Amino acid sequence: MIMRFSTRAFLSSFLPFAFLLTASFWLIQHSVLSTVREGLRASLRETHASVARVQSRSNIHNNRFLRILGENATLKAGLQLVAVEPDSSAARLTLIDQLSELSGTLGFDLLAISDANDKPIGGVIRNGSKWTHLDGGGSVPQHAWPGEQGFLPIEGRTFQLTSIPVNLGDENLGRLTVGEVFDFAEFSSPTVLSRDGKLVQSSIPNVQAAELEAALRVCAPTAECEVRLAGTSYLSLPVETISLGDGYLLRSFQDVDAATGPVQNILAKVFLIAGAGALLAALILSAFSTRTIVQPLASVVRHLRESEDTHVLPEFSELPSSIPEIRELTTGFNRAAASIREGRMFLQRAYIGFVGSLASALDARDRYTSGHSHRVSQMATATAREMDLPENEIENIRIGALLHDIGKIGIPDAILQKPAALTKAEFDLIKEHPAIGRRILEPVGGFEDYLPIVELHHENWDGTGYPHGLRGDQVPIGARIVHVVDAYDAITTDRPYRPGKSHAEAVELLKRFAGTQFDSLAVEAFLNSATGHQNSSVQNLAAAIESSVPVTENVEHTT
């Protein structure tokens, strides 16, 4: 108990401090990690700005050459020829050869051309030192043909596109699209290109396309987010400094774990050292509080726990404590305990007197039943002791037996003292006395332990009794004992309409009805203890035992 008390004292002093310490550590960690994440964001934004500057210079370069290409007379002538002969493969091949020469001269990775109706004509793609033709005549679907701008994935590469119209005066001859391989190496961090939620290209290692697409669906297109890919946490920002075209989204990623890991390791070491120091301080405080506070209080608690068994409040000697409040606590408790003991003794005397007065008042109504309740109480107590019942249960049986017939206060004297056999209606009325007794005593505080005896002392072992028809062990042992003793006293008592029977005759009747009306064990225990009662104030027996009416039914008329 002292250990448990010491533990609670330790926890009450340590937990608030631990909570404050943990909260402080969490705030520090949160602040540090927020600073690290802000640094990651700044790094990504700087990367985006650098790529934007490179793209800007590239766009300037492209635009200059595009204007030159748009005015190329040979290209215009080729477009006019295709327009005149749209089904001519030779005209188309001639135009594609011109694109190959221009691309080789100007250094573009892709050149494609469409007619005035934006119908694909042809194009070329650089693959190292070789060129691959894009056949606009039908081998390439319309949706896979280079648009005006944006990106186009072909043969495992992604091309960034831009376009310019080819005009002859005010007449539009077609559209020229040029493209360069989109180089993810321009970004110092992993980058993902998608279109309408579908992955186009990624530079994040060891991450499957399905996992990336699922992560992209979680992130809002224009907002930063944090995702976990292949067991690693990434901070992702959209690249808004580059014009990508309709439906395309470019996001750069930064490994958060790699950035925060060293910081978290340092913080963990600091927290571990600080936590160990705090725990040591709390242990020292707990040891001090245990010696000065917990041990004296635990002694008080231990004595109070012991009083649960004795039901007597203890008196404490002065506890060896340097704390005045504890000494005052024990002194005040001793005074209160003495007052409670004195009050309890007074109440106990008044309580016992009240119970005895109730029993005497009941017996005084009829000189023939005078002393019945006290005799039943004495014999029931002796029977309970014969059955080795606990002392507290024996005391409950003693008082319950004194009160068992209290409900007959509500039965008219004309029925209780009738010198002839009862009618069925009269007997039904007298059978109400157990329930009346319960209603009388139930509102009285402290009488709840006796209510089962008062209410159930006429229940039979075989379930034929009343008021509830309970059987066997459903009836409490106290009520079963009082049932046997009550019948014995009624049988052996003289009444105005018949003399009592002898002890031997009563014993014979109890044995005959053992196992049907009475609990056999209770009958046996009563008979073993009856020797001490047969020559006492028990008078003689009840009426009409040999009639067809059961023992308990005859007893009702007399008890």
Choose between 321 and 175: higher pLDDT.
175
502 DSSP 8-state letter? P
Cis peptide before 467 (omega within 30 of 0): yes
Q: How far apart are CA 228 and CA 214, in angstroms?
A: 11
Could you report the per-residue pLDDT of 322-379, keeping only the tens digit for each?
666 666 777 777 777 777 777 777 776 776 677 667 667 766 666 556 788 889 999 9
Q: Across the chain, what does the average pLDDT equal?
A: 76
Residues 6+ apart with CB under 8 A from 38: none
Helix (H, G, I), strand (E, B) or coil at 67: helix
Query: Would you state the CATH architecture of domain 64-180?
Result: 2-Layer Sandwich (3.30)
Write a three-state SS string for 275-292.
HHHHHHHHHHHHHHHHHH
Domains 64-180 and 365-558 share a fold: no
Residue 62's pLDDT band (cuts 50, 70, 90): low
Q: What angle do CA 72, 172, 88 make, to 5 degrees?
A: 75
Instruction: Give pLDDT, residue 544.
Output: 31
Could you report the per-residue pLDDT of 387-438, keeping only the tens digit for each?
999 999 999 999 999 889 888 888 888 887 787 878 899 888 989 999 998 9
* 63-74: average pLDDT: 72
> What is the domain partition of the chain in residue ranges?
64-180, 365-558
Instruction: Give pLDDT, residue 368.
Output: 57
Q: Helices (H) and strands (E) in the chain — how many of each? A: 17, 11
Q: How far apart are CA 202 and CA 119, in angstroms?
A: 31
The domain made up of 365-558 is a member of CATH 1.10.3210.10: yes
Measuring CA to CA, how many Å separate 295 from each of 96, 126, 199, 305, 308? Answer: 100, 89, 70, 15, 20
Could you report the per-residue pLDDT of 189-207, keeping only the tens digit for each?
788 888 777 887 787 888 8
Q: How much of the chain exceeds pLDDT 90, in percent?
A: 17
* 284-306: average pLDDT: 66
* pLDDT above 90 (res 453): yes
Q: How much of the chain exceeds pLDDT 70, in percent?
A: 72
Residue 548's pLDDT band (cuts 50, 70, 90): very low
Instruction: Give pLDDT, residue 533.
Output: 45
Token output for 49: 């700005």
Tell which phi-psi region holds residue 371, choosing left (phi > 0), alpha (psi between -120 and 50) or beta: left
Winning range, highest mean pLDDT, from 178-182, 307-311, 463-467? 463-467
